[in-house]
Amino acid sequence: MNSLYECTVAHSRLLPKKHSFIYQVFMFSVDLDDLPNLAKRIFGFSHNRFNWFSIDDRDHIDLEQEGGIRGNLVHWLAGEGFDCPAEARIRLVTFPRVLGYGFNPVSFYYVTDKTGEPLAAIAEVVNTFREMKLYWVGKVGHDGRWHRRVAKNFYVSPFSDPGMEFDFRLGNPAATWEVNIDIFANGEKTLLSSIRGDRRALTSARLLGYSFKYPLLSLKIIALIHWHAFLLWLRRVPFVRKSDRTEVQLDVMRPHSTLKKS
């Protein structure tokens, strides 16, 4: 079922100095196979075209494969040793572009079989340099959530060394949805982050309402990232330049010039 999630995003830095913030957003939850038809049914929404809200293939995984986002993701999964069934459904939970501008710090893919049984979960992380890295998030635990702790090997923030670890705990989209992505350094938790959302019907009327409730959503997200980075800098939190730790920035898609030079 295609839907929206009205979400609360929370970040809480534990070390080396405490710093927390919370903000409200909304995200799309769409079946990749339904994207073209969905754009025809929902006023104010488009796929790969300009509109008030849109989802654009260029903002997501692109390994130069045919079949749009789905074809590229299936190709990536094959490289991870997972043979995605042809009849599998793939759900994308992501932020939309707003008036043609988009920034998705993180998106999520959920793969299920034709009966709805979970098969795979993937986190797609993007930094402010527009680099991208995908993370396979293990198996479903006893709590019904996907779990994996894995080396970041990716430059996400100047205040988080790319050699640290991500600890992913992803819930499956349902009436409510929750994900946690925490960061560990040398076995010690340094940052907590979460997204908690309630499912809403995806209708033209609701999107119109969200255009006023969440004006210029994409700009809000990128502005908050830079604002809180500025506050951390003012507090003299140690930071890492992107060019300082290129040796641990691995398997990065759309690499920045700092990685190409290294």
Contact 229, 127 (CB under 8 A): no
Specify the residue for token string 């043979």.
83
| Helix intervals (H) in the chain | 35-41, 68-79, 204-213, 217-234, 257-261
Residue-wise pLDDT tens digits, 132-148: 999 999 888 889 999 99
**SS3 of residue 192 by DSSP:** strand
Q: What percent of the chain has pLDDT over 90?
A: 94
As a whole number, mean pLDDT of residues 27-42 equals 95
- The total domain count for the chain is 1
Specify the residue for token string 């913030």.
21
Q: C-alpha dihedral over 182, 96, 103, 121, to 10 degrees?
A: 40
Q: Percentage helix, strand, coil, to 5, in the chain?
A: 25, 40, 35
Domain that holds residue 237: 3-261
Q: Is the pTM of this model over 0.85?
A: yes
Q: What is the DSSP annotation of 89-128? A: EEEEEEPPEETTB---SEEEEEEE-TT--EEEEEEEEE-T
Both tokens assigned to 207: 């999107």
Residue-wise pLDDT tens digits, 159-189: 999 999 999 999 999 999 999 999 999 999 9
